[in-house]
Amino acid sequence: MQVKPTPNNQSRVTFPRALLSAAILAALLTPVTESALASRVIENSNQPVTLQLAMQGNPVITNEDIEAPRIQLAIVLDTSNSMDGLIDQTRNQLWQVVNQFSAARQNGITPILEIALFEYGNDGNAANAGYVRMLNGFTRELDAVSAGLFSLATNGGSEYCGFAIESVVNGLQWSQSESDIKTIFIAGNESFAQGPVNYREAVRLAGQHGISINTIHAGSHAEGIRDQWQSGALLAGGDYMSIDANQRVVHIVAPQDDRIAELNARLNQTYVPYGDAGAASADRQMEQDALSSGISAGLLAKRAKSKASAFYNNANWDLVDALEAGKVDAEELVLMEDEKLPEPMLGMSAQEKLDYVQAQTTERKRIKQEISELSESRAAYVAEKKRAQVVAAPSMSDALSNAIRKQAQQKNFAFDE
């Protein structure tokens, strides 16, 4: 938000349309005194709507929608027969990685995290596509990524890293901003140079779009260098890492976990599914909770922490997030037909719809705050327990987090610790 003086000493405030629509409807439904609003100008266009408020003696405030920075992360996993451990590590550590990134800021602004998921090296996929398959393109709906990870199964394979990288570069809608993080993580254990597409050409294509390549070899460090995994990373300004893919992920159970699980269940009740995908997406949210809980209460606690962060956004199917993001405005909400709304909202009046969504918004903020506070105390407990453990070999989450942090610093990102 920038503050600029103007000759007429009026304050000009520009709001995102969703917030303004709520203000308009509230004004229509609530008596307004003459002294509360000296003048109101509403521009009926696709541009941000503007209110002019007479505020003598105060500076003019101009707020133009600020585009948040982006972290675009494409995860590309080898799903050939030997890679069950790699898949298991990734699905077990997704929420831990998200939680680490949630502390990122660029010029004080929280970024948008978008994750895409691909598999390669699986003979069950189309040969003419290089045995590469996209499970989801860039999305903020992290449950979709989690669902994709849990759906993966090993089979085959023919591991064509160059073909996979080329497919990811060409198959996704990458940001055009040089200040955004755009990176591909490709993990596997066979030679990086296999397949009909020369990996050097694929990496060069990524570099032309400002995309870095980080390579993760599931095996010994020296073997990965010999099989050109390090070469692939260095050519695109990324990092080369080796991990023990067969290392079992251990989730420490903490005293806070039971309360976090209870709050997570109540958090789900604040979601207001709408539209054609609403009910199915709400079911997917519950399913991913159950899968995480089935592995460990500790994993569910990590997932709940992610759900309490700004990165967990479901504006495509949840009215609370949709209103906050401006995907749906208050005018659209009150006019929404019953078939687009969940059962509790059927037959509601305009005011009742607004009140209902506002109540869920307020309750969600309260629950998220408590989850965040419990997660902090949980982190301290887990850190103390880990100090007594033998240091494990690097895992998938270590590889992702270390590389992203390094590249984030180059893009003027800072991490709130």
Question: What value does the mean pLDDT take over residues 185-192?
Answer: 94
Identify whether residues 230 and 291 lie together within a single domain: no
* DSSP SS3 for 407: helix
Highest mean pLDDT among 53-67, 140-154, 231-245: 140-154
Is pLDDT of 39 > 50? no
Q: Is residue 299 part of a domain?
A: yes
Is pLDDT of 144 > 80? yes
Output the pLDDT for position 322.
97
Identify whether residues 20 and 121 lie together within a single domain: no
List Cβ neighbours of 206 (8 Å cut-off, separation of 6 or more). 165, 169, 184, 212, 213, 236
Label residue 163 by pLDDT band (50, 70, 90): very high
Spatial CA neighbour of 274 closest among 202, 346, 166: 346
What distance in Å separates the CA atoms of residue 205 and residue 219, rounded to the nearest whole number?
27
What distance in Å separates the CA atoms of residue 161 and residue 198, rounded to the nearest whole number?
9
Both tokens of 326, joined, read: 């401006």
Output the pLDDT for position 386.
83
Location of structure tokens 């909202």: 345
Both tokens of 253, joined, read: 């159970």
Cα 257–Cα 261–Cα 263 angle in degrees, nearest 5: 115
Cα 233–Cα 227–Cα 186 angle in degrees, nearest 5: 45
Identify whether residues 170 and 188 lie together within a single domain: yes
Identify whether residues 58 and 113 lie together within a single domain: no
Write down the pTM of the prediction. 0.81
Output the pLDDT for position 339.
95
- How far is CA 53 from each of CA 3, 10, 92, 146, rounded to the nearest angstrom? 15, 6, 52, 46
What distance in Å separates the CA atoms of residue 45 and residue 50, rounded to the nearest whole number?
10
Output the pLDDT for position 13.
35
Q: Helices 278-295 and 257-268 meet at what angle, rounded to 10?
A: 170
**C-beta separation of 117 from 102 below 8 A:** no
Question: What value does the mean pLDDT take over residues 189-215?
Answer: 95
Q: Is residue 178 part of a domain?
A: yes
The sign of the CA dihedral 13, 15, 19, 22 is: positive
Identify whether residues 77 and 108 lie together within a single domain: yes
Identify whether residues 77 and 218 lie together within a single domain: yes
- Report the length, in residues, of the chain: 417
Both tokens of 302, joined, read: 């990590």
What distance in Å separates the CA atoms of residue 179 and residue 405, rounded to the nearest whole number?
14
Spatial CA neighbour of 100 closest among 381, 413, 391: 413
CATH number, domain containing residue 192: 3.40.50.410
Identify whether residues 274 and 207 lie together within a single domain: no
Label residue 417 by pLDDT band (50, 70, 90): low
Output the pLDDT for position 390.
64
Of the candidate ranges 160-174, 227-241, 377-391, the one whose mean pLDDT is the lowest: 377-391
Question: In 3-121, which ranges are continuous DSSP H helix?
Answer: 17-29, 84-101
Amino acid 87 reads I
Output the pLDDT for position 157.
78
Cα 52–Cα 53–Cα 58 angle in degrees, nearest 5: 120
* Domain coverage including residue 227: 70-247+392-415
Of the candidate ranges 17-31, 40-54, 196-210, 353-367, the one whose mean pLDDT is the lowest: 40-54
Identify whether residues 359 and 398 lie together within a single domain: no
Label residue 329 by pLDDT band (50, 70, 90): very high
pLDDT tens digits, one per residue of 84-132? 999 999 998 899 889 888 888 999 999 999 999 999 999 999 999 999 9
Output the pLDDT for position 263.
98
Amino acid 178 reads E
What distance in Å separates the CA atoms of residue 235 and residue 211, rounded to the nearest whole number?
11
pLDDT tens digits, one per residue of 259-315? 999 999 999 999 999 999 999 999 999 999 999 999 999 999 999 999 999 999 999
Identify whether residues 76 and 225 lie together within a single domain: yes
Q: What is the mean pLDDT of the chain?
A: 84
Identify whether residues 366 and 302 lie together within a single domain: yes
Identify whether residues 122 and 144 lie together within a single domain: yes
Output the pLDDT for position 56.
32
DSSP lists the bridge partners of residue 185 as: 75, 214
Identify whether residues 241 and 275 lie together within a single domain: no
List Cβ neighbours of 30 (8 Å cut-off, separation of 6 or more). none
**C-beta separation of 359 from 352 below 8 A:** no
Q: Is residue 252 part of a domain?
A: no
